[in-house]
Structure formats: C-alpha cells, structure tokens
Amino acid sequence: MSHCRMILSRSWTLVKHFEGAPKLSDFKLKEVELSPLKNGEVLVEAEYFSVDPYMRPYSTRMMNEGDVMMGTQVARVLESKNSAFQAGSFVISNAGWTTHSISNGKELTPLLANWPAHIPRSLALGTLGMPGLTAYFGLREICCAKKGEIVLVNGAAGAVGTIVGQIAKIIGCKVVGSAGSDGKVQYLKEIGFDEVFNYKTVSSLEEALKKASPEGYDCFFDNVGGEFTDVALLQMRKYGRIAVCGAISLYNDTVPRKGPYVHYPLILQELRMEGFTVPRWQNRYNEGLEKLMQWVVEGKLKYREHITKGFDNLPSAFIGMLKGDNTGKAIITAK
C-alpha cells in the first residue's frame, strides 16, 4: 500500500505539569499531518490505549509541558518500509496518546506470537502486558511467595492487583485483598480471593487486616503505600517479604508526607522490603507472557477490563482510573 493520502494524527498533549490530582484542563488536543514514510519507517494506527498510574508521577519527571502524553497502545501497522513489520500486523507502541504515528520500529514490539483469535488484543496492555508482568515477577521474584503462605495485596481490584491475587492462588497461598468499593470486593471474591475488605468503609484498617488474617502476613504486595503500608508492616510475620510495587495513595501529594519509620517492624520481624520496576525482567518478558497466556487460555487467570470508548475520552478515563473507577485494567478504544 502506498502512503499517498495525508494522514492526520490527533494527540493529547500535556499543557501543564499536574498539580495535585490531574484535571481535564491539563490536557489539550493537537492535530498534525504526518509526512510520507521514509525507508525504515512504520506507520501505525492506535486500536487500544492504556492509562496507568505511573503516568501521574513519571510525566512530571520525564515529560515537558506541550509533549504528547506518554503511554502505550496496541496499534495496527498501516504501512511499512521496515522489513521487521508487516502491514496489517499488530504491535505495542510507546507513541503515547496519539491516534497515528510514524516510528523507526525501535519502540515497537510485535504482539506475542500465536496470539489466539478469541483473546482480546487489549489484554496486551493489561493481563498479558506490563501490568501482568509486574504481578508475575513481583510476586515470584520479590515476594518469593510459596505454597501455604499468606499474601496481602492492596489496590487488589486493579490491573496488577487482580493478577497478583490469582497467581498467589495458583501457587497455593491464602490471599487477602483490599479495594475501594463493595462491587470490587464482590468481584475479587468471585475470582478466588479468600478474604477481601473495602478499605474505604472499614472502621479500622488494623482491625480489618487482623480479622482477614489473625496469623499475619508472609508476603505483602504493596500497590498503595502511605498509611496502608504503615499499618500492614506491623502485621507481617517473621521473615516476611514486602514487594514495593507502587504508591498510588501518594502520587497526587504536593507536600511529601512524613510517616512512621519502617525500622522497628523490619528489624523485629526480620523483614525484607524491596522496591522494583518491571523492566528489571525485560529479558524474561517472553517467559512471563507465555505463562500468563497459558493461564488465561486454561481459564485459571480471569480478567476484566474497564473499557472507555473513544480517543476523545482519554483524559477523563485517566482521571477516573486514578480515582478508582476501574475494576481490572482501564482501557480506552481508539474509536
């Protein structure tokens, strides 16, 4: 196919760095006409967009005002002058919140080979993508969860949390989760969590954690940080492991908080607390994705997506995800 017609690309740009919670006025639409492809280049069209919590803190550190919002998308190759990418194939692109983009192929990753027709491609942004890998490697390599142990995960009804809990069940652990609505609590029970509570309505977080597991916790997969972490650390069992995955309760803070210090629980219970980012296992992504795909196909790993329709709704979907609108992975369709 020759790229003779002009392609108009629409993008959401960041007008101003976020102050506190992101607002619709922080984003602005921009349209540009793309130039014809040069040798080695690929033209892609977004099919699904991902909105993820990391965009809140990372945009401040890694973006300039006026840039296209960062992010990943599942995209279709419309035209290719790069032999590594065939027109009509699907890729993961880091082009951000933009409908069409031209790439030299370096930041494009082909979808996992032999993707089954009945598995939605959008899962490449969730259960079968970065969040799934975060759960897979974080739980296994940092929490080192073993059969018979007790695992706690907060932010449990989200993209990462739902997978952490289910993998922990596959390993043979008891799983306790917390989430921010009764609907989410219900969903987590349906997919096999042993104990779940709504952290927004319990009168005492400490009591809720004790009630869910009077014996305490061997592993804590922490997506939330802040006060939740302070309380949970005091309920870890001897030699417990804490995977510090995220701190969503702190991302909108404008003034750094001063919490209790971690030393006493870490020393007295001889805990290991370790932060990580998932690219640490980049050279093992295929291993993780193949295992996650196997579990999805076997029905052992259930998924749910919170789908918002339309590129124009990306900013509101992002804001909504940060507030907890989503059960499972927050996805936006391009059309």
What residues make contact with ligand NDP under the rule CB under 6 A? 52-54, 131, 134, 155, 157-161, 179-181, 184, 223-224, 245-249, 276-278, 321-322, 324, 326, 330
CB of 54 or CB of 115, closer to ligand NDP: 54
CB of 89 or CB of 252, closer to ligand NDP: 252
Closest by Cα among 26, 14, 16, 58 to 248: 58
Q: How far is the CB of 280 from ligand NDP (least distance, A)?
A: 8
CB of 80 or CB of 308, closer to ligand NDP: 308
CA distances from residue 298 to 19, 20, 119, 127, 273 in whole angstroms, order as listed: 44, 42, 12, 14, 33
CB of 183 or CB of 310, closer to ligand NDP: 183
Query: 222, 232 in Cβ contact below 8 A?
Result: yes
Residue recorded with tokens 């290991």 = 272
CB of 36 or CB of 324, closer to ligand NDP: 324
Residue 134 φ/ψ region, left for φ over 0, alpha for ψ in the -120 to 50 degree band, beta for the rest: alpha
Coil, strand or helix: which one is 31?
A: strand
Q: How far is the CB of 77 from ligand NDP (least distance, A)?
A: 26
Look up residue 66 and give its two tokens. Answer: 């006026």
CB of 140 or CB of 184, closer to ligand NDP: 184
- Distance CA(96)–CA(13), nearest Å, equals 9
CB of 236 or CB of 330, closer to ligand NDP: 330
Q: How far is the CB of 106 from ligand NDP (least distance, A)?
A: 21
CA distances from residue 273 to 57, 158, 283 in whole angstroms, order as listed: 21, 22, 24
Q: How far is the CB of 205 from ligand NDP (least distance, A)?
A: 11
Query: 53, 321 in Cβ contact below 8 A?
Result: yes
- Distance CA(297)–CA(126), nearest Å, equals 15
Q: How far is the CB of 194 from ligand NDP (least distance, A)?
A: 18
CB-based closest residue to ligand NDP:
158
Q: Chain-centre distance of CA 149, in angstroms? A: 25
- Distance CA(211)–CA(85), nearest Å, equals 53
CB of 156 or CB of 173, closer to ligand NDP: 156
- 182: Cβ–Cβ under 8 A, 6 or more apart, which residues? 198, 201
- Distance CA(330)–CA(328), nearest Å, equals 7
Look up residue 223 and give its two tokens. Answer: 């997506």
Look up residue 59 and give its two tokens. Answer: 């945009």
